[in-house]
Amino acid sequence: SYIIDRRNDEKIFWKCEHARKYACHGRLHTDLSNVFIKTVGDHENHTENPRSGPVRQCYERLQGESQQNQTNLHNILTQTNIGVPDEVRIQLPSNENLNRNIRRWR
């Protein structure tokens, strides 16, 4: 999993989510539409959390739904949580923190 490190007028530079914790040098470049360009470096000093991908996907669904749907926050959380496995759901922040994120994304 990657997080945004920086961006310029042409592309987004991503770094491994464990860059600080494990001094990981795994990097990724995408264009501004998140289309893959290339990878730089490897994830050689740690193993990936197998649940990080599903948690990230849940956040992306939540963000997309909150930007497109202006219903109340409870309905957005309920709709987004349908089909999310329990092992992913327990890694998500509290509903209060998720509500704060939804308000910020709008």
Fill in the amino acid letter for 14: W
* Helices first, then strands: H and E counts in the chain: 5, 4
Which pLDDT does position 9 carry in this prediction? 94
Which pLDDT does position 16 carry in this prediction? 87
Distance CA 80, CA 62 (A): 6
Which pLDDT does position 50 carry in this prediction? 54
Per-residue pLDDT of the chain (106 residues; tens, 9 = 90+): 788 999 999 999 999 888 888 888 889 999 998 888 998 888 777 666 655 677 777 777 877 877 777 777 777 777 777 888 887 777 776 766 676 766 776 6
Q: For residue 26, what are its two tokens?
A: 């795994």
Rounded to 10 deg, the angle between the 95-105 and 52-68 helix axes is 50
- In contact, 42 and 23? CB cutoff 8 Å: no
- In contact, 56 and 14? CB cutoff 8 Å: no
- Domain boundaries along the sequence of the chain: 2-40, 51-105
